[in-house]
Structure 1
Amino acid sequence: YFLSHHEDLKAIDAFSKAMRLDNMLLEDCYFHRAWAYTNLEQYNKALADCNALLKMDPESEWPLHLRAWVYGRQKDYKRQLEDCTTLIRLDPKSPHAYRERASVYDSLKQYQLATNDRRIARQLTDSKSSH
């Protein structure tokens, strides 16, 4: 509710309380609280929540996507690139992961690598739409 109404501080408080009460909700709360922190540009807190999630499940794609995005906002392109490459390793048929990594390569002025990833993303998108 709070996230959909852009009440990020209330959302953070609600998710923090839920995390103390119910371990079953822990992963969802960490993720949604991290998302709320990004909306408030509290990137270090968002990273802490993403890292906590990745300790629970190192191959969880959503916290990797979010953490890569946060690294990009912080202009930490080396770590963003590492997360994008991990996402591609986890799901090599994800056009989104290739497009995301291409934008990192652009930021690093590695234009040929960016072009290669965009080409792969197009091929993957085309093959999905032809099925």
Structure 2
Amino acid sequence: MQKSKAVPTTTELNLLNILWKIQPASVKRVHEKLTETQSVGYTTVLKMLQIMHDKGLVVRDESQRAHLYKAYDSEVHTQNSIIKDLLHKAFSGSKYNLVVRALGDGASKEEINGIRKLLDNLEQKQS
């Protein structure tokens, strides 16, 4: 089975974030979780999940009366796709420019230490 090529919209990503936590889930369950943070109609959630299914972002189990949905790709795979898309669209493929812009507003001491460790590990792998 091929991985989805679609990069999700912000709304689709909101639904995927819910599915990654509770999947597989019915439209009703996704709607309940979504309405904890925003006002949206049941039919809107249903339509969005149908569109996402057509785009290959979610899979649907139709074996039960209430169809169950789950994300097609993992959270990490989807995040990587979004980053690659952003990297090419906004930063001409430059990871350096992406990191500089991301850290332009600063980072906590813990984040800096984590980034430093990551960079040290990447450097060791290249040696």
Give the TM-score normalised by the residue count of structure 2: 0.30
Greater share of helix residues, 1 or 2? 1
Query: Between Structure 1 and Structure 2, which shows a larger proportion of strand residues?
Result: 2
Q: Which has the higher contact order (CA 8 A, sep 6+)?
A: 2
Q: Which structure has the larger Rg?
A: 2
TM-score by length of 1: 0.29
